[in-house]
């Protein structure tokens, strides 16, 4: 067993864990933050995506102990008090989710796309940057719309009535 | 139409918990004192179990119990069942082998359940499972669908020639006569590839036993918790129904794979009593690949006969369906009654004859996956029709129009009575959306860039709203397929609706509430939908077969009728009028011809206060239940058109455009319905281009993770252009047909028809991977060079 | 996973001494190969030495004619580095197409190179650019470093410190991804340094990364897409699997080589 301390959703947490504890297990089992999901064993589905020091990572492929001293944000920490994050709001507004299982990872990945690429995202960019997130319900159509709108809203606009610009024919 | 009523794209009520990480899925549930189960699975496709030595494993740290098939048998826990009896051509019943939850004597596929270890932690359970010594007598494996019946190896002694049944439907004589008279016959050999459903939430179960009450609780990832309780209770013998509660909380997608009653939840709930602790199991993705019921896996030869004008005369189909190593819960119905009755498609075909041989193999059980039989049928019909049009030199749209059913009701030669539809309208709209007229130019533009462009049609029909109990009973179903609802009006006018349907992504909490809000005139937020708990909802048949709107909501509709009728009685008392003079509209009970009225909330309050009721003729309270049994299947239909471009240099296929025009009858929430269409298309495109479960000759699943089984990702798909036409369904009160499976049914032939159009020949199978398309495109290029 | 002990040293030197002391210890870089393997119980190191806190293994610097990248530099850092984009844009492009965005935030150049997965991207760049792998013990040229499938010249206890890339005058990378795993089915890195041309291929070789002399000769004569016209790689020695057989992979080598040259020549 080893001691571990990190910041999760702005709160300091400490624990004693088995070294083989993955970050996702630490979040789900130790902290009971069950919004972060596990959908595969091979680091592909992205249901487990959280932000580690501000960057999207797969919590199923990260040891909890590797996050010593780090700051982790999960889906539970995204909303600001009672106010939803604009990306959360956009997913609801544009029906970017159905069963909801991939959704926390999708939203965390979406916010990361905006952090890396800015607020004005075309459809092609969004689709390519969702390489690490699998959804089985939506066919991605509304996820793409939601992310484009959420990205704009993060710059201060409204999430309503925004369509991503269609990609110009190549 | 109000902002939250029927027809409004209301944003979903359930979303808040999902987007904030507050969903409650089975694996999120932890019971005090919970232990963990790990299943030791067979590494062999086919082997006798000579000995299972658990002694060393049982002594390992944290182990609470290790159980095998012998332990289940000793407790008289029955085997898993198949709930649909199919009869052979000669009238004899199908031949099925036993399906124990933990193997007895033999294992029959890689992933079959040899033993379960229950331990304090999952790691300890897994460590102990590795210490179990199993002496396997490895046998040859039967894997191939087409040749399974000829194999010398027998999967089950009870099923000679590995044949579960030889079944048929239709008039063979009339079909043969029509073929003899035909001027043109189109023939195709088709493989419908095996798929793995892969909902993003893996299956999970938590079994709990209350010693004081002698009662079990099972939390499980189920699309139909009541059916699970029924089977676990009446057939497997875990406990009587009143001592077994099944809860399906938030469920992360199902697509059919969570309909069935599997070994793992059976063992978890049973083991909870054995070890005296709650027992949890959560599948990892590899286990899901190995042991979730797979879908499809048909090998078919099909023929379509036409006269000299291209009028369809008859269809003849022979299919071999692989059901895997055991018969899963509804497996036998999928390649039979969910398949052959759809072979008429949208067309007026006077004679159809279909034979189906179902075989056992040493592979995972095969059962319903989104569409279940109907995608297989649609693929046969729409490939045949497209190829026939090409062979006859006819435009595929015009050829379809020529043969569409136009008069309703229409009795097909294969059971179904189509009630209503307007197939030409959907086709016309889809042609407009895709700009069919401009396709020739787009194709030439692609050719200039060295690309092959193709367009493909799919005019699908499905039978949904499953299903009239009498009809399915006569066809072999072990249950009726009605649905139940209970509408509980609280004293202050808020409403709980208990439904036997189960939502695992479909948005019932919103659409069902829209119906209630619309009909009772109460605000949407005053309506709560309760589902997924057998202690709350008395009985139900669950969600699959695009039935929750047509059947589940019809039950709610019926219960609302009763609430309104009771409300009128209450209003009559309160307003001191004759019951016959009470009208109900826009949330108010009114006395005809007067301005006296009672709003719905006040009526509810008066129903519970009951001060004004005198005598015995009116009971207090406002709560009504209903069972709705449909009178017919519903027949959603539509046209999907796929336009794509192939790079012959790499074999990469890009879908450029997708037009989907569906007739789902009346629509409650267009936003949700369109979402269902999008998701269905993605799964259909996945089948056509990306997905395929493959076993090697030894029966090892070589596509057992997302590393090798290709799931559709965002950049594999385009945005979809979705349109609708509406012919209301005449057989249910809401005029709903159902929308959940349409995309998955429509999409595969649209893609393959587009690819073969681009290639100029028919030599491609699903999944049309880049390698397969590249190889096929070389043929095209050499032909073009020769011309 | 099986149980293991965990160490997180602050310097490469500490890591080396832990590695020397610990029974059956393995280095943990980004973990995106090692951890999934351990989860499947296919690897069971007695200890993990996590390099993520070793500041001396991180960073990107231009040193004269070389671009030097610390072993624990992530793919995302390489992809977005102005130094890399300016010196060897094809290398930034390659890094920006490894795995997916989340993987790129964790995966490192050192981990990728040390693992020498036949479907990983970096080995092609190292081989084509004539890079040098600098360890805590020595300097290894790329063509000596990669010695077979998942095999390198690294000794027990040896740690990659950095990789030094000579700046090429022209370079390009193209890959055809495995549709399921998104690893490279075939990747081709072309580089022109002075009059020398190198074409390195990953994803396709039965023995891992390899060079294509015929293409190099053709491109040496004239560094242009047209030079590769009619040039076909043999299917001999090319691996096949359920996603792509040897013939298709061999064909893709030609297609990807042209795309890589097109990228290198800006055409």
The model's pLDDT over B658-680, given as tens digits with 9 standing for 90+, comes to 999 999 999 999 999 999 999 99
At C141 the three-state DSSP class reads strand
Q: Say whether A133 and B714 touch across the interface (CB within 8 A).
A: yes
What is the length of chain B? 787
Q: Does B278 touch chain A (CB under 8 A)?
A: no
Mean pLDDT of C143-160: 95
Of C1, C180, C248, which is closest to B774 when you measure between CB atoms? Answer: C248
Residues B81 and B135 in one domain: yes
Q: Say whether B708 and C245 touch across the interface (CB within 8 A).
A: no
CATH class name, domain C170-265: alpha beta
Is B438 part of a structural domain of the chain? yes
| pLDDT value at residue C141 | 98
| Chain position carrying tokens 């905006």 | A114
- CA–CA separation, B302 and B317 (whole Å): 4
Nearest-Cα residue of chain C relative to residue B703? C242
| Cis? peptide before B293, omega within 30° of 0 | no
| pLDDT value at residue A166 | 45
- pLDDT band of residue A163 (cuts 50, 70, 90) is very low
- The b-or-e profile of C13-41 (16+ CB within 10 A means b, else e) is ebbbebbeebeebbbbbbbbbbbbebbee
Q: Do residues B347 and B457 lie in contact, with contact meaning Cβ atoms separated by under 8 Å? A: no
Whole-angstrom CA distances from C185 to B342, C149, C188, C239 are 40, 15, 10, 10
| B253-271 pLDDT, tens digit each | 999 999 999 999 999 999 9
- CA–CA separation, B458 and B423 (whole Å): 12
Q: Does C28 touch chain A (CB under 8 A)?
A: yes
- CA–CA separation, A54 and A66 (whole Å): 15
Chain C residues lying within 8 Å of A61, measured CB to CB: 31-32, 35-36, 106
Nearest-Cα residue of chain B relative to residue C253? B650
| pLDDT value at residue A162 | 44
Q: Say whether A61 and C40 touch across the interface (CB within 8 A).
A: no
Residues B492 and B621 in one domain: yes
Q: Does B705 touch chain A (CB under 8 A)?
A: yes
> Which residue ranges does chain C devote to CATH 3.30.390.50?
170-265
Chain C residues lying within 8 Å of B708, measured CB to CB: 180-181, 242-243
- How many Cβ atoms from other residues are within 10 Å of residue B34's Cβ? 16
Q: Return the H-helix or E-strand segment holding B721.
A: strand B721-724
Is B188 part of a structural domain of the chain? no
To the nearest whole Å, the CA of B322 is away from the closest chain C CA by 21
Mean pLDDT of B669-694: 98
A to B CB pairs, distance under 8 Å: 180
| B357-368 pLDDT, tens digit each | 999 999 999 999
Q: Say whether B690 and C179 touch across the interface (CB within 8 A).
A: yes
| pLDDT value at residue C267 | 79
Mean pLDDT of C34-52: 95
Q: Which structure tokens are listed for B762?
A: 């028919």
Helices (H), B410-507: 423-434, 439-448, 469-474
At B760 the three-state DSSP class reads coil
CATH class name, domain A2-77: alpha beta
Nearest to B41 by CA among B125, B124, B103: B103
Same fold, A2-77 and A86-154: no
CATH code of domain A86-154: 1.10.150.120
Chain A residues lying within 8 Å of B715, measured CB to CB: 124, 127-128, 130-131
Q: Taking 90 as the threshold, does the pLDDT of residue B613 lie above it?
A: no
| B615-631 pLDDT, tens digit each | 668 999 999 999 999 99
Number of compact structural domains in chain B: 3
Q: Say whether C100 and A62 touch across the interface (CB within 8 A).
A: no
* Widest Cα–Cα separation across chain B: 95
- CA–CA separation, B341 and B320 (whole Å): 16
Is B219 part of a structural domain of the chain? yes
Rounded to the nearest integer, the mean pLDDT of chain B is 97
Helices (H), B276-373: 285-291
At B740 the three-state DSSP class reads coil
- How many Cβ atoms from other residues are within 10 Å of residue B407's Cβ? 7
- CA–CA separation, B203 and B198 (whole Å): 10
At B753 the three-state DSSP class reads helix
- The b-or-e profile of B643-671 (16+ CB within 10 A means b, else e) is bbbbbbbbbbbebbbbbbbbbbbbbbbeb
To the nearest whole Å, the CA of B238 is away from the closest chain C CA by 33
Q: State the residue range of the domain holding B230.
A: 18-139+200-253+258-291
Of C2, C3, C102, which is closest to A132 when you measure between CB atoms? Answer: C102
| pLDDT value at residue A161 | 43
| B718-776 pLDDT, tens digit each | 999 999 999 999 999 999 999 999 999 999 999 999 999 999 999 999 999 999 999 99
Q: Which of B240, B268, B291 is the last residue of a domain?
A: B291
Residues B600 and B663 in one domain: no
Of C3, C180, C244, which is closest to B706 when you measure between CB atoms? Answer: C180
Mean pLDDT of B288-314: 98
Q: Say whether B19 and A141 touch across the interface (CB within 8 A).
A: no
Q: Taking 70 as the threshold, does the pLDDT of residue A167 lie above it?
A: no
To the nearest whole Å, the CA of A20 is away from the closest chain C CA by 6
For chain A, domain boundaries:
2-77, 86-154
| pLDDT value at residue B612 | 82
- CA–CA separation, C15 and C12 (whole Å): 5
Interface of C with B (CB under 8 A): 1, 3, 40-41, 176, 179-181, 242-245, 248, 251-252, 255
Q: Report the neighbours of B using a cutoff of 3 or more CB pairs below 8 angstroms.
A: A, C
pTM of the model: 0.97
> Can you spell out the DSSP letters for B205-254?
EEEEEETTTTEEEEEE--S-HHHHHHIIIIIS-SS-GGGEEEE--B----
Strand residue runs (E) in B462-603: 483-489, 495-499, 527-530, 582-585, 588-591, 597-599
Q: Taking 50 as the threshold, does the pLDDT of residue A19 lie above it?
A: yes
* Widest Cα–Cα separation across chain A: 57
Q: Say whether C243 and B707 touch across the interface (CB within 8 A).
A: no
To the nearest whole Å, the CA of B691 is away from the closest chain C CA by 9
Helices (H), B575-659: 600-609
| pLDDT value at residue B1 | 60
Q: Taking 60 as the threshold, does the pLDDT of residue A165 lie above it?
A: no
- pLDDT band of residue C29 (cuts 50, 70, 90) is very high
Q: Say whether C244 and B709 touch across the interface (CB within 8 A).
A: no
Q: Which of C37, C120, C179, C260 to mutate to test the interface with B (most CBs of B within 10 A)?
A: C179
**C5-52 has CATH 3.30.43.10 classification:** yes
Residues B647 and B590 in one domain: no
- CA–CA separation, B728 and B405 (whole Å): 17
Of C40, C180, C245, which is closest to B771 when you measure between CB atoms? Answer: C245
| B115-143 pLDDT, tens digit each | 999 999 999 999 999 999 999 999 999 99
Q: Which structure tokens are listed for C97?
A: 């197409």
Q: Do residues B233 and B241 lie in contact, with contact meaning Cβ atoms separated by under 8 Å? A: yes
Residues B330 and B433 in one domain: yes
Nearest to B667 by CA among B7, B9, B11: B7
Of A41, A123, A144, which is closest to B284 when you measure between CB atoms? Answer: A41
Q: Does B176 touch chain A (CB under 8 A)?
A: no
| C238: phi then psi, degrees, rounded to nearest 5 | -95, 140
Question: Which DSSP letter does residue B593 get?
Answer: T
| pLDDT value at residue A82 | 84
Q: Does A44 touch chain C (CB under 8 A)?
A: yes
Residues B306 and B429 in one domain: yes
Where is average pLDDT lowest: B783-787, C7-11, C131-135?
Answer: B783-787
- CA angle B771/B449/B755 to nearest 5° reads 40
Of B123, B694, B771, which is closest to C248 when you measure between CB atoms? Answer: B771
| pLDDT value at residue A158 | 53
> Which residue ranges does chain C devote to CATH 3.30.43.10?
5-52
| B89-111 pLDDT, tens digit each | 999 999 999 999 999 999 999 99
| Chain position carrying tokens 């990953």 | C202
Task: Give the C window 47-86 contacts with A, CB below 8 Å.
Answer: 48, 50, 52, 76, 80
Of B19, B202, B683, which is closest to A97 when you measure between CB atoms? Answer: B19
Q: Which of B652, B770, B775 to mutate to test the interface with C (most CBs of C within 10 A)?
A: B770
Residues B617 and B494 in one domain: yes
Mean pLDDT of C178-201: 96
Nearest-Cα residue of chain B relative to residue C180? B710
| A23: phi then psi, degrees, rounded to nearest 5 | -55, -40
Residues B509 and B654 in one domain: no
Q: Does C26 touch chain A (CB under 8 A)?
A: no
Residues B100 and B239 in one domain: yes
Chain B residues lying within 8 Å of C181, measured CB to CB: 706-708
Is B3 part of a structural domain of the chain? no
Q: Taking 70 as the threshold, does the pLDDT of residue B700 lie above it?
A: yes
Q: Say whether B123 and C1 touch across the interface (CB within 8 A).
A: yes
Chain A residues lying within 8 Å of B123, measured CB to CB: 20
| pLDDT value at residue A164 | 47
Q: Report the neighbours of A using a cutoff of 3 or more CB pairs below 8 angstroms.
A: B, C
Q: Do residues B590 and B596 lie in contact, with contact meaning Cβ atoms separated by under 8 Å? A: yes
Residues 6+ apart with CB under 8 A from B242: none
Q: Does A5 touch chain C (CB under 8 A)?
A: no
Chain B residues lying within 8 Å of A141, measured CB to CB: 675, 678, 717, 719-720
- CA–CA separation, B102 and C117 (whole Å): 39
Q: Taking 80 as the threshold, does the pLDDT of residue A168 lie above it?
A: no
Mean pLDDT of A123-144: 98
Whole-angstrom CA distances from C58 to B506, B638, C10, C109 are 47, 57, 12, 10
Is B181 part of a structural domain of the chain? no
| B230-248 pLDDT, tens digit each | 999 999 999 999 999 999 9
Q: Say whether C180 and B708 touch across the interface (CB within 8 A).
A: yes
Q: Do residues B110 and B700 lie in contact, with contact meaning Cβ atoms separated by under 8 Å? A: yes
Intra-chain end-to-end CA distance of chain A, in Å: 56
Q: Which of A48, A100, A122 to mutate to test the interface with B (most CBs of B within 10 A)?
A: A100
Q: Taking 60 as the threshold, does the pLDDT of residue B300 lie above it?
A: yes
Mean pLDDT of B477-484: 93
Q: Which structure tokens are listed for A127?
A: 């689709």
Q: Say whether B706 and A45 touch across the interface (CB within 8 A).
A: yes
Mean pLDDT of B30-39: 98
**C59-166 has CATH 3.30.1360.120 classification:** no
Q: Does A99 touch chain B (CB under 8 A)?
A: yes
Supply the angle between the helices C246-265 and B770-786 in degrees, to the nearest 10.
80
To the nearest whole Å, the CA of C35 is away from the closest chain B CA by 15
Residues B487 and B573 in one domain: yes
> Which residue ranges does chain C devote to CATH 3.30.465.10?
59-166
Intra-chain end-to-end CA distance of chain C, in Å: 48
Percent of chain C as helix, strand, coil, to the nearest 5: 35, 25, 35
Task: Give the A window 123-162 contacts with B, CB below 8 Å.
Answer: 123-124, 126-128, 130-131, 133-144
Strand residue runs (E) in chain C: 5-7, 25-28, 47-50, 60-63, 66-70, 132-135, 139-141, 146-148, 151-152, 160-166, 170-177, 184-193, 196-202, 210-211
Domain CATH for B512: 3.30.365.10
Residues B639 and B696 in one domain: yes
């Amino acid at each position: 067993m080893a001691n571990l301390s990190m910041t999760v959703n702005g709160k300091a947490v400490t624990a004693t864990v088995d070294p083989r504890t993955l970050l996702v297990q630490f979040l789900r089992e130790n902290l009971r933050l069950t919004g972060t999901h596990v959908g595969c064993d091979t680091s592909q589905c992205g249901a487990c995506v959280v932000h580690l020091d501000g960057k999207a990572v797969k919590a199923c492929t990260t040891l909890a102990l590797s996050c010593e001293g780090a700051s982790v944000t999960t889906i539970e920490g995204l909303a600001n008090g009672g106010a939803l994050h604009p990306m959360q709001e956009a997913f609801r507004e544009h029906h970017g989710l159905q069963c909801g299982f991939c959704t926390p990872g999708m939203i965390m990945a979406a916010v990361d796309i905006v952090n890396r690429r800015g607020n004005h995202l075309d459809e092609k960019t969004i689709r390519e940057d969702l390489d690490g997130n699998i959804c089985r319900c939506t066919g991605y159509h509304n996820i793409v719309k939601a992310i484009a709108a959420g990205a704009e809203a993060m710059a201060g606009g409204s999430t309503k009535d925004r369509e991503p610009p269609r990609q110009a024919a190549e | 139409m109000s902002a939250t009523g029927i027809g409004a794209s209301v944003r979903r009520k359930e979303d808040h918990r999902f987007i904030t990480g507050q969903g409650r899925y089975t694996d999120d549930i932890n019971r005090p004192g919970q232990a963990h189960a790990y299943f030791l699975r067979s590494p062999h496709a086919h082997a006798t179990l000579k000995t299972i030595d658990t002694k060393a494993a049982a002594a390992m740290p944290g182990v609470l119990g290790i159980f095998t098939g012998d332990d289940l048998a000793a407790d008289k826990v029955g085997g898993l069942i198949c709930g649909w009896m199919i009869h052979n051509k000669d009238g004899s019943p199908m031949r099925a082998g036993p399906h124990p939850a933990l193997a007895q004597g033999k294992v029959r596929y890689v992933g079959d359940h040899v033993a379960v270890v229950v331990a304090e932690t999952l790691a300890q359970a897994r460590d102990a499972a590795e210490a179990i010594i199993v002496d396997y007598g490895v046998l040859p494996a039967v894997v191939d669908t087409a040749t399974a019946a000829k194999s010398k190896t027998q999967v089950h002694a009870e099923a000679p020639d590995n044949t579960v049944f030889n079944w048929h439907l239709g008039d063979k004589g009339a079909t043969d006569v029509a073929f003899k008279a035909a001027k043109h016959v189109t023939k195709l050999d088709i493989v419908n590839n095996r798929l793995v459903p892969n909902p993003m939430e893996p299956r999970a179960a938590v079994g709990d036993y209350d010693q004081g009450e002698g009662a079990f609780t099972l939390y499980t990832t189920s699309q139909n918790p009541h059916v699970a309780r029924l089977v676990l209770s009446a057939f497997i013998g875990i406990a009587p129904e009143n001592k077994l509660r099944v809860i399906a909380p938030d469920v992360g997608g199902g697509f059919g794979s969570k309909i069935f009653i599997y070994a793992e939840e059976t063992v978890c709930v049973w083991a909870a009593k054995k070890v005296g602790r709650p027992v949890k199991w959560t599948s990892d993705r590899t286990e899901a690949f190995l042991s979730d019921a797979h879908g499809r896996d048909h090998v078919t030869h099909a023929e379509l006969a036409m006269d000299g004008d291209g009028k369809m005369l008859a269809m003849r189909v022979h299919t071999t369906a692989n059901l895997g190593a055991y018969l899963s819960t509804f497996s036998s119905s999928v390649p039979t009654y969910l398949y052959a009755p759809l072979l008429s498609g949208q067309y007026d075909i006077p004679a159809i004859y279909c034979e189906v041989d179902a075989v056992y193999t040493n592979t995972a059980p095969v059962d319903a996956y989104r569409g279940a039989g109907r995608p297989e049928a649609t693929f046969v019909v729409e490939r045949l029709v497209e190829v026939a049009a090409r062979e006859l030199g006819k435009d595929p749209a015009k050829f379809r129009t020529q043969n569409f059913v136009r008069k309703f009701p229409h009795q097909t030669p294969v059971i179904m009575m189509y009630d209503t539809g307007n197939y030409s309208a959907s086709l016309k709209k889809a042609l407009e959306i895709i700009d069919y007229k401009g396709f020739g130019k787009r194709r030439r533009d692609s050719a200039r860039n060295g690309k092959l462009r193709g367009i493909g049609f799919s005019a699908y029909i499905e039978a949904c709203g499953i299903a009239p109990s009498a009809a399915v009973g006569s066809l072999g179903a072990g249950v009726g397929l009605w649905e139940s609802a209970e509408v509980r009006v609280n004293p202050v006018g808020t409403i709980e609706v208990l439904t036997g349907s189960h939502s695992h992504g479909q948005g019932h909490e919103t659409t069902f509430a829209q119906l209630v809000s619309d009909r009772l005139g109460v605000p949407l937020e005053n309506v709560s939908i309760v589902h997924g708990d057998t202690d709350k909802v008395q009985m139900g048949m669950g969600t699959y077969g695009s039935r929750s709107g047509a059947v589940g909501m019809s039950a709610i509709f019926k219960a609302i009728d009763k609430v309104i009728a009771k409300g009128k009685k209450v209003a009559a008392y309160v307003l001191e009028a004759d019951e016959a003079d009470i009208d109900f509209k826009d949330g108010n009970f009114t006395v005809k011809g007067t301005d006296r009225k009672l709003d719905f909330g006040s009526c509810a309050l008066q129903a519970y206060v009951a001060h004004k009721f005198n005598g015995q003729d009116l009971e207090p309270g406002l709560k009504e239940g209903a069972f709705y049994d449909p009178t017919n299947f519903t027949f959603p239909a539509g046209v999907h058109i796929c336009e794509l471009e192939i790079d012959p240099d790499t074999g990469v296929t890009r879908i450029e455009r997708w037009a989907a025009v569906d007739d789902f009858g009346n629509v409650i929430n267009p936003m949700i319905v369109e979402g269902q269409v999008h998701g269905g298309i993605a799964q259909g495109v996945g089948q056509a281009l990306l997905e395929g479960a493959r076993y090697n000759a030894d029966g090892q699943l070589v596509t057992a993770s997302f590393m090798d089984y290709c799931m559709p990702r965002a950049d594999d798909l385009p945005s979809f252009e979705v349109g609708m036409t509406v012919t209301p369904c005449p057989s249910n009160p809401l005029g709903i047909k159902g929308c959940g499976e349409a995309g998955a049914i429509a999409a595969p032939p649209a893609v393959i028809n587009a690819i073969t159009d681009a290639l100029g020949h028919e030599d491609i199978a699903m999944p049309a991977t880049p390698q397969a398309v590249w190889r096929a495109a070389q043929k095209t290029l050499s032909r073009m060079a020769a011309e | 996973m099986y149980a293991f002990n965990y160490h997180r040293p602050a310097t490469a030197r500490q890591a080396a001494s832990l590695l020397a002391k610990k029974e059956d210890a393995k280095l943990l870089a980004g973990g995106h190969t090692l951890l999934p393997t351990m989860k499947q119980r296919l690897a069971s190191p007695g200890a993990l030495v996590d390099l993520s806190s070793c500041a001396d293994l991180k960073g990107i610097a231009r040193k004269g004619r070389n671009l030097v990248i610390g072993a624990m530099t992530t793919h995302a850092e390489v992809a977005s580095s102005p130094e890399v984009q300016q010196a060897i844009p094809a290398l930034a492009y390659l890094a920006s197409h490894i795995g997916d965005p989340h993987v790129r935030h964790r995966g490192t150049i050192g981990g990728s190179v040390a693992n020498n997965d036949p479907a990983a991207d970096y080995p092609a760049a190292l081989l084509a650019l004539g890079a040098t792998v600098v360890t805590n013990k020595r300097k290894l040229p790329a063509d000596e470093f990669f010695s077979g499938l998942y095999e390198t010249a690294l000794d027990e206890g040896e740690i990659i410190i950095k990789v030094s890339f000579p700046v090429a005058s022209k370079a390009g990378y193209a890959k055809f991804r495995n549709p399921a795993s998104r690893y490279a089915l075939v990747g081709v890195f072309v580089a022109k340094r002075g009059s020398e041309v190198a074409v390195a291929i990953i994803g396709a070789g039965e023995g891992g990364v390899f060079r294509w002399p015929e293409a190099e000769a053709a491109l040496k004569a004239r560094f242009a897409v047209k030079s590769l016209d009619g040039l076909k790689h043999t299917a001999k020695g090319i691996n096949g699997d359920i996603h792509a057989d040897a013939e298709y992979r061999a064909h893709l080598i030609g297609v990807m080589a042209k795309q890589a040259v097109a990228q290198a020549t800006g055409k």
